Structure 1
Amino acid sequence: MRRFIVSGILAVLTVSAPGQAQDIAADTQQAIEDLRRLSADEMDGRRTGTQGSHVARTYIRERMIEAGLTPSFERYDHIFSYTPRRSTEEMLGGNLVGYFEGRNTDGPIIVVTAHYDHLGNCGGQICNGADDNASGVAALLAIADALGENRPEHTILFAALDAEENGLNGARALVAELPIVQERAVLNINLDMLAINAENELPAAGAFHFPFLRDHIDAIEVAAPTHVIQGYDSPEWGPSGDWTYSSDHAAFHDAGIPWIYYGVDFHEYYHQPTDEFEVVQQDFFASNVQTVLNAVVYFDRNLETVAAQYAAHQSQQPELEEARVDADGRYIKPGME
Structure 2
Amino acid sequence: MKHQLWLTLFAVLSLTIGSCAQKLDQKIAIQVPYLFNADSILVHIKTLSSDAFEGRRTGTSGAEKAKNYIIEKYTHLNVLPFVPDYQQPFSFTARGKTYNGVNVLGLIKGSQHPENYIVISAHYDHEGIKNNQIYNGADDNASGVAALFAVAEYFETHPPEHSVILAAFDAEELGLAGSHHFVANSIVPLQHIKLNINMDMIGRNDNNELYAVGTAFNDTLKTVISNFKNPKELTLLMGHDGKDGLQNWTMSSDHAPFHKKNIPFLYFGVEDHKDYHEPTDDFENMHPEFYIMAVNTIISIFATLDAMHF
Asked whether the two chains share a fold, i.e. TM above 0.5, the reply is yes
Are 1:271 and 2:281 an aligned pair?
no
| Aligned AA (1:135) | S
Could you say what secondary structure the match of 1:155 adopts? strand
Q: Does 287-296 or 268-277 show the bigger shift?
A: 287-296
Are 1:300 and 2:306 an aligned pair?
yes
The CA deviation string for residues 113-139 of structure 1, in whole angstroms up to 9 with x for no partner, is 000000001322100000000001111
Deviation for aligned residue 1:207? 0.9
Whole-Å separation in 2 of the counterparts to 1:171 and 1:221: 31
Are 1:79 and 2:89 an aligned pair?
yes
Aligned residue for 1:170? 178
Whole-Å separation in 2 of the counterparts to 1:212 and 1:171: 24
Are 1:212 and 2:220 an aligned pair?
yes
The one of 61, 66, 69 aligned to 2:71 = 61
Are the aligned partners of 1:185 and 1:257 in contact in 2 as well (CA < 8 Å)? yes
Deviation for aligned residue 1:73? 1.0
Unaligned 5+ residue runs, structure 2?
1-7, 11-27
Are the aligned partners of 2:58 and 2:99 in contact in 1 as well (CA < 8 Å)? no
The CA deviation string for residues 92-147 of structure 1, in whole angstroms up to 9 with x for no partner, is 10010011111124443210000000000132210000000000111111101110
The CA deviation string for residues 287-336 of structure 1, in whole angstroms up to 9 with x for no partner, is 1111111122221112x1xx2xxxxxxxxxxxxxxxxxxxxxxxxxxxxx
Whole-Å separation in 2 of the counterparts to 1:150 and 1:49: 35
Whole-Å separation in 2 of the counterparts to 1:149 and 1:62: 20
Change beyond 3 A, Cα 1:106–1:280? closer
Are 1:39 and 2:49 an aligned pair?
yes
Whole-Å separation in 1 of the counterparts to 2:231 and 2:243: 30
Unaligned 5+ residue runs, structure 1?
1-14, 308-337
Deviation for aligned residue 1:26? 2.7
The one of 191, 196, 205 aligned to 2:199 = 191
The one of 135, 139, 147 aligned to 2:147 = 139
Q: Which runs of 4+ in 1 moved over 6 A?
A: none
The one of 217, 233, 238 aligned to 1:230 = 238
Aligned residue for 1:9? none
Give TM-score, length-normalised by structure 1. 0.81
Bigger proportion of residues as strand: 2
Aligned residue for 1:257? 263
| Aligned AA (2:286) | V
Give TM-score, length-normalised by structure 2. 0.88
Q: Does 241-250 or 27-36 show the bigger shift?
A: 27-36
The CA deviation string for residues 168-215 of structure 1, in whole angstroms up to 9 with x for no partner, is 000001111222221111110000001110000000010112222101
Aligned residue for 2:62? 52
Are the aligned partners of 1:224 and 1:287 in contact in 2 as well (CA < 8 Å)? no
What percent identity do the matched residue pairs reach? 37
| Aligned AA (1:199) | N
Deviation for aligned residue 1:66? 1.0
Deviation for aligned residue 1:62? 0.4
Change beyond 3 A, Cα 1:269–1:158? same
The one of 16, 28, 40 aligned to 1:30 = 40
Are the aligned partners of 1:223 and 1:288 in contact in 2 as well (CA < 8 Å)? no
Deviation for aligned residue 1:223? 4.3
Could you say what secondary structure the match of 1:108 adopts? strand
Q: How many residues align?
A: 286
Whole-Å separation in 2 of the counterparts to 1:56 and 1:107: 30
| Aligned AA (1:113) | S
